[in-house]
Amino acid sequence: MRDRPEHWEVTGSSEEFDGHVFSVRRDSVRMPNGAGTEIVQRDVIEHLGSVGILALDEHDRVLLVRQYRHPVGRLLWEAPAGLRDKAGEPLQRLAERELLEEAGYRADRWDTLVDLFPSSGMSDERTRIFLARELTEVPADQIDFERVHEEADMPVVWVPLAEAVRKVFAGEIHNMIAATGILAAHAAHASGFRDLRPADAPED
């Protein structure tokens, strides 16, 4: 059992919104209806895509950053993450950059933790969450990046993995990348990380 590509007939499409991070199109799709078919409309958010980084240190602690998220009106504890906004940039390179810019760390060991469609009912966004290990902190004066807006005040904390799992189940961590990454890292840790794919594994 595995997910597979499938493309139902689109009889028409129109652009409803064009933004910096995402756009919205309206598709007319031929879909089953009893013994026949019908044309129905589906709004699709076209998203750049993203990566997330679940950083795990030698003490089995995960790195989280706090960031204000205006759409939900909350300060959320999150895993470092970023948009796929540089055409052709390898996903691991993007993840390395985001871990450095948002948290001030480099990692010598990278694995693919999990691949997701975060909102498949409305968006084509793809997210790859990496597991980053063998971490080294980088002095602030060696990081050529200025945090602004939501990123201007992003404290970094280290949370024991088992405690982070409890916080997910307690409803204290809501960010999708953080929650998924924490639970996936916990499961991978139990098997000695032997089932993880390499960092450059293809996205099916």
Q: How far apart are the first and last CA of the chain?
A: 14
In whole angstroms, what is the distance from residue 63 CA to residue 80 CA? 8
* Residue pair 99/132 in contact by the 8 Å Cβ criterion: yes
Please tell me which residue in 101, 137, 151, 163 is annotated as part of the active site: 151
DSSP for 188-203 reads HHHTTTTTPEETT---
Helix or strand (DSSP H, E) at 24: strand 22-33
In whole angstroms, what is the distance from residue 185 CA to residue 196 CA? 10
151 is catalytic: yes
- CA 127, 129, 131 angle in degrees (round to 5)? 170
The residues, ordered by sequence, that sit 6+ positions from 54 with a Cβ below 8 Å of its Cβ are 62, 79, 113, 129, 130, 131, 132, 178, 181, 182, 184, 185
Q: Which active-site residues does the annotation give?
A: 151
